[in-house]
Structure 1
């Protein structure tokens, strides 16, 4: 997802200065020697109590990537068989203060928020509070007839929960003029009503895939309608808290309102990471407004990955349902599924790029950046960063669990 904003936030001269520092900063850490493993587990915050030695098979790749694509700061976390085996921050969190990225630095995770929302939805499905076949709009439907003008246009009353989770709602996608970013002063209900009235669905739900941020914003509203709770409160109590995550929260639109320990975001090609209308950014909520660290995200993943190494929050059948890809695309619920069964997804906003993978053979990782480059080469290189370490039998992963 992105905002197309032509105002320039940072000049290439500034990025150039940052880039010149990257080969030193990306791998310069004040803690290069690992002490003995601690006797106790760390708390639920996104920090690690042991200090990681360098792992060149990862660190060299990331340093080169950051320099090539002018990435000020990055953070990663890698899980193997349910254990956090590597986590490290690289480069600059904020060039104004010269703070460096560490494992507790918070980043906008953008569309990785959708998997978090999916877990909340599937919790309600498992509790029999919701069915995947439930309709969204219409008499007796989840959001009833309170939004938009009746009679409803074609297909509106046909949408189901499952179709929105798979981006198969029939329209409202980001292939053109994403309605999630329209009418920036509207609240979520006003925006949904506006979309019903002004953005006719072009296809019957379930027949075409069109990646829809608005669809997941609607899922957040459904969570609120069913539970009577604020979306964020429900997710914190039923997904994040039980996964041991205390730091994830909804971010803010401006640098001045950034959260404690949140990185600064850097635009490229004239994009302004802080050009969002504050209401429109917060409104993204369930679709893309969470912030967190890679360790936060990996805590969520190991408690919801379908493996037996760490007990999952959801039943095995529920996890199978959410990770079964569509018959018409590679989308499951909030994630994509590769041909060999790997889960993956990315997040993208001006000034941030995130990536997560869960492999079929027990690895998972997350990579968060505080800039974005929209080229195909950048996205391909981002995906390839951790695979050499994962695919090599010579990689010496730590024996301890850093969680």
Structure 2
């Protein structure tokens, strides 16, 4: 027992003689930096530690909120900011004002380091974007974006309807940079003169500068030259032209005179008689009714089982009338009165539509057995107008407005008046050297040739039935395919001329007006309408009219990307 007590006493004596190791008092901030990988800086930036001060120089454009510092300290030391523990390369702080980093040694002693950010004025002076800000023909705001065309230079398309001397511009630059023109400050949203190339100077925060050239570009001149040459050749009084590329309105303009009495010019708002270009619109209406289940293309038109019943002509019908279908009339194979010197739509102007149809059905034999022979028939499309009225319970024009025109934003398309005084708002006056354009009952021609429209509205409507993807079509894909199916026998489908390459088009001609509407599979579509042309028996007027669109497409090497609709 005595031995055990002695051992314990000896152990306690030895332990009490050992000296306890002191805790570390080291509390130095050894390195401090902002790494590119963790912060919005373009390179790693090292801080300079002098005593209790840490200085870091950052570009003037750097956002100081949320920066994450990377640091090293004395071994066993910890770091806090405002009492919050800090983790190197992870803890974020706002360095807008100096930030105090408290380094605490193992022994609890502390040392404060004040981190101050010194912003270096930025030398960045890039013009990063340039745009024209304007309104489309419908009044909707849009932009034309400039493209980089070389070192420190841009080109920008100028729309045909804006004043190049007063163009509102929008631009973007490097952060903290300013812009001037001829030593005058320019800000985004200002109005500039872009009738010729201009130079903009971008001024960096450090006052260094860089010049940029903005060159306006236009397709106006090429188109103007071709259209003016056509108008001069055929002594055309007034013309409206519009063209789309991939369903975007790239150009529209009025040329010449709308009314000689007051020398009023043709504008993009001018309405023209479109003559037989009315037929595709009537076809669209018929097909819309088929989609609604109101009729079938195979429905008979006349007789007990026909859509129009026995309203016109009555029993007994002349041979073949009761076999005529809606489709036969659409594709001009019904055998009805043709577009010749005895066309009933161009005579007896005192008769109503019903009286004309009654007279023809009762007294004229069919040109051919229905479905066997192509023979272009204005009269047939007048009958289609009455079918639309019977099935819809509305007038032809009312149905167009409700189901076709208002949904596509083309409600200014309407039936024309017969006299100068009966012209509609914005409608041009029609001219001809030998025959008065107002000697005809054009309003009676509604469904086959009596509509008026602007070139823009024709293209806007077309963009909603053309089968392309940019704008919503108002007909189903299968309906559009049926409407424009190529027919090798006569190159005419349902309301459209169509060729084997899937080009669609329709032309129109009345005394005092000519028109053409074209849709190409390449994505270009265009409309041309005139209010006068001297048509000789041996000239190439319609060939040249048709070539006008193709020549314009060939002449333009680069097209604007904006949409002027």
2:499 paired residue among 326, 333, 338: 338
Structure 2 residues not aligned, in runs of 5+: 1-130, 141-159, 165-217
Per-residue CA deviations over 1:100-130 (Å, capped at 9, x if unaligned) read 1111111001111111111110001111111
Aligned partner of 1:220 in structure 2 is 385
Report the Cα distance in structure 1 between the residues aligned to 2:299 and 2:560, rounded to whole angstroms. 46
Report the Cα distance in structure 2 between the residues aligned to 1:325 and 1:43, rounded to whole angstroms. 38
Per-residue CA deviations over 1:291-332 (Å, capped at 9, x if unaligned) read 110001001000010111211001000000001133520111
Q: How does 1:160-309 map to 2 (within 5 A)?
A: 160-268=325-433, 270-276=434-440, 280-309=441-470
Aligned partner of 1:123 in structure 2 is 288
Deviation at 1:175, TM superposition (A): 2.7
Deviation at 1:273, TM superposition (A): 0.8
Deviation at 1:43, TM superposition (A): 5.0
1:384 correspondence with 2:547: yes
SS of alignment partner, residue 528 of structure 2: strand
TM-score by length of 2: 0.62
Aligned partner of 1:319 in structure 2 is 480
Report the Cα distance in structure 1 between the residues aligned to 2:320 and 2:493, rounded to whole angstroms. 22
Deviation at 1:94, TM superposition (A): 1.1
Cα distance change, pair 99–128 in 1 and its aligned pair in 2 (3 A): same
How big is the alpha-carbon RMSD for the aligned residues of Structure 1 and Structure 2?
2.0
SS of alignment partner, residue 133 of structure 2: coil
Report the Cα distance in structure 1 between the residues aligned to 2:481 and 2:446, rounded to whole angstroms. 25
Deviation at 1:39, TM superposition (A): 6.4
Deviation at 1:207, TM superposition (A): 1.1
1:400 correspondence with 2:562: yes
Contact 2:483 2:493 in 1 (8 A): yes
Deviation at 1:59, TM superposition (A): 1.2
Contact 1:58 1:385 in 2 (8 A): no
Contact 2:432 2:532 in 1 (8 A): yes
Report the Cα distance in structure 1 between the residues aligned to 2:267 and 2:135, rounded to whole angstroms. 22
Contact 1:243 1:300 in 2 (8 A): yes
Cα distance change, pair 40–291 in 1 and its aligned pair in 2 (3 A): closer
1:107 correspondence with 2:107: no
SS of alignment partner, residue 345 of structure 1: strand
Q: How does 1:33-112 map to 2 (within 5 A)?
A: 36-38=132-134, 42-43=138-139, 50=162, 53=218, 55-112=220-277
The structure having more radius of gyration, on CA atoms, is: 2
Contact 1:349 1:372 in 2 (8 A): no
SS of alignment partner, residue 442 of structure 2: helix
Report the Cα distance in structure 2 between the residues aligned to 1:66 and 1:235, rounded to whole angstroms. 32
TM-score by length of 1: 0.86
Greater per-residue strand proportion: 2
Contact 2:275 2:515 in 1 (8 A): yes
Q: Which is further off, 346-355 or 171-180?
A: 171-180
Report the Cα distance in structure 2 between the residues aligned to 1:79 and 1:197, rounded to whole angstroms. 45
Greater per-residue helix proportion: 1
SS of alignment partner, residue 250 of structure 2: strand
SS of alignment partner, residue 367 of structure 1: strand
Deviation at 1:246, TM superposition (A): 2.5
Report the Cα distance in structure 1 between the residues aligned to 2:308 and 2:409, rounded to whole angstroms. 32
Aligned partner of 1:364 in structure 2 is 525
Deviation at 1:266, TM superposition (A): 1.0
More RCO (CA 8 Å, sep 6+): 1
Deviation at 1:98, TM superposition (A): 0.6
Contact 1:89 1:101 in 2 (8 A): yes
